[in-house]
Structure 1
Amino acid sequence: MAVPKKRTSKSKSRKAHWKRKAFFMSQKSLSLAKSVLTGKANSFIYLNTENIKS
């Protein structure tokens, strides 16, 4: 006798997708912050106010 398959919850998969996306974005931003602080940032342009003399 055929038994219908159990449906998977869409909300759980959407929540997991959102959490995974947020995790990777936080890793990327933390990596960029570390490279800016060490002075090794090549792809990020910012003004360093300590080196600018008026």
Structure 2
Amino acid sequence: MAAPKKKTSKQKTRSRKATWKRKAALQAERALSLGKSILTNRNTGFMYPLADEADEDEE
């Protein structure tokens, strides 16, 4: 017969949620920063094809 499981404390549950939310907020901040740098042409760590290069590849 299965034994009942122990209840997870509120502190542990809240700690896990806070960690998860902190990681998500950090990733969102990095994505926004990257987007801003691409728009201002100050990006150094992100490569993407320009429209001119894409047109030359098709010909």
Q: TM-score range by the shorter chain?
A: 0.7 to 0.9
Q: How many residues align?
A: 47
2:54 is equivalent to residue 42 of structure 1:
no
The percentage of aligned residue pairs carrying the same residue is: 40
CA RMSD in angstroms comes to 1.6
TM-score, structure 2 normalization: 0.68
Deviation at 1:8, TM superposition (A): 5.5
Structure 2: give runs of 5+ residues left out of the alignment.
1-8
Extract structure 1 runs of 4+ deviating beyond 4 A.
none
Q: Find the aligned partners of 1:33 and 1:48 in 2 and give their Cα distance.
A: 15
Aligned with residue 23 of structure 1, among 12, 25, 28: 25
Structure that is richer in helix per residue: 2
Structure 1: give runs of 5+ residues left out of the alignment.
1-6
